[in-house]
């Protein structure tokens, strides 16, 4: 009874703020509804989902989301890991560097979007001005207006915004590794690279897996940064699922269809989270529980 009473407020809030909206979204996605006039009544079954997967823009959203996930895993996270390893060494101004690299993460997505909208402006933007100043004017471009490179520009902004967060995660994980392990490996003749490859990297495994999980979920749900930078343009070339959902749900008053997109986003995130927890994070959790039991 005591446990139930302590859990009850959290369960009530979770039910009202999480489970109830999910249920309402699943119900609304089965109707053609503009969001006005009370509960929807024009039941259309799975037509919203059929329309969605037949829409070229939504299928493009899936591919663009997958591209952002792959780029994050292969570029953003290794960059954050490399900088974290450098900042773990003794060097002058180390705390200042850590603060500078982490500072972009403390900015809101809206402020970041507005800042890079000005930096990447084709006319007076800082990026094109720098290229012109160093004699590389041939590389100037409409960074947010060219369908061929807009997703690269969005990813660069994402990396600038979020790599500091992952860097701090890796740095904390690295500082949790006993220094004696590296020293013992060095005594046995291991080179610095071998120490990193066979000692540091395996022990950073749980941190890397959590970082990858957060990065992938963030890429799937990306909205505000893209909306401020490009609003999904030009010609839908930078749209994500969240941007398409917002366009239909709030701009075009097709709430039923927009809600169907949100349901698909939820299912993709849920399936990935459950699968990742089952096959990747499970051994980390079991290892932590085993360690706690051993300590007892």
Strand partners, 31: 43
Evaluate if residue 103 carries a pLDDT over 90: yes
> Residue 61 in contact with residue 239, Cβ under 8 Å?
yes
State yes or no: pLDDT of 291 exceeds 80. no
Look at residues 74, 229, 221, 84 and name the one whose alpha carbon lies nearest to residue 164. Answer: 84
The model's pTM is 0.89
Of the pLDDT bands very low, low, confident and very high (cuts 50, 70, 90), residue 296 is low
Give me the chain's average pLDDT, please: 91
Percent of residues, the chain, with pLDDT higher than 90: 75
pLDDT at 282: 75
Mean pLDDT confidence for 2-6: 92
pLDDT at residue 277 in the model: 86
Does 204 score more than 80 pLDDT? yes
Question: Which value, in Å, is the radius of gyration of the alpha carbons in the chain?
Answer: 23
190 neighbors 198 (Cβ within 8 angstroms): yes
Q: Which pLDDT band, with edges at 50, 70 and 90, does 11 fall under?
A: very high
Within 8 A by CB and 6+ apart from 17, the residues are none
Percentage of the chain lying above the pLDDT 70 cut: 95
Q: Is the peptide bond before 234 cis (omega within 30 degrees of 0)?
A: yes
Average pLDDT over residues 163-185: 92
User: Can you give the pLDDT at residue 183?
Assistant: 87
| Residues 159-188, mean pLDDT to the nearest whole number | 92
Say if residue 190 is exposed, middle or buried (CB neighbours under 10 Å; 0-12, 13-18, 19+): middle
| Superfamily holding 63-241 | MetI-like (1.10.3720.10)
């Amino acid at each position: 009874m005591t446990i139930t009473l302590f859990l009850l407020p959290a369960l009530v809030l979770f039910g009202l703020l999480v489970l109830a909206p999910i249920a309402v979204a699943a119900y609304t996605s089965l109707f053609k509804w503009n969001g006005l006039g009370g509960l929807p009544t024009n039941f259309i079954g799975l037509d919203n989902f059929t329309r969605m997967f037949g829409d070229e823009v939504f299928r493009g959203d899936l591919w663009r989301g997958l591209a952002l996930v792959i780029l994050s895993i292969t570029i953003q996270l290794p960059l954050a890991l490399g900088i974290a390893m450098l900042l773990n060494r003794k060097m002058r101004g180390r705390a200042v560097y850590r603060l500078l690299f982490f500072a972009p993460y403390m900015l809101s997505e809206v402020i970041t979007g507005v800042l890079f909208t000005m930096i990447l402006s084709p006319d007076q933007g800082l990026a094109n001005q720098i290229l012109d100043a160093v004699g590389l004017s041939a590389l100037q471009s409409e960074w947010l207006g060219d369908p061929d490179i807009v997703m690269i520009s969005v990813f660069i902004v994402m990396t600038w915004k979020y790599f500091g967060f992952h860097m701090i995660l890796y740095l904390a994980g690295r500082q949790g590794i006993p220094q004696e392990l590296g020293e013992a490996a060095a005594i046995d003749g291991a080179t610095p690279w071998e120490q990193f490859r066979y000692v540091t990297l395996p022990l950073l495994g749980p941190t890397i897996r959590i970082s990858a999980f957060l990065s992938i979920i963030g890429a799937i749900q990306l909205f505000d940064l893209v909306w401020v930078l490009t609003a999904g343009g030009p010609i839908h070339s930078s749209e994500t699922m969240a941007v398409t959902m917002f366009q239909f749900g709030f701009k075009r008053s097709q709430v039923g269809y927009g809600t169907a997109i949100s349901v698909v986003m939820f299912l993709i995130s849920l399936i990935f989270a459950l699968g990742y927890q089952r096959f990747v994070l499970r051994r980390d959790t079991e290892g932590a529980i085993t360690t706690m039991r051993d300590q007892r």
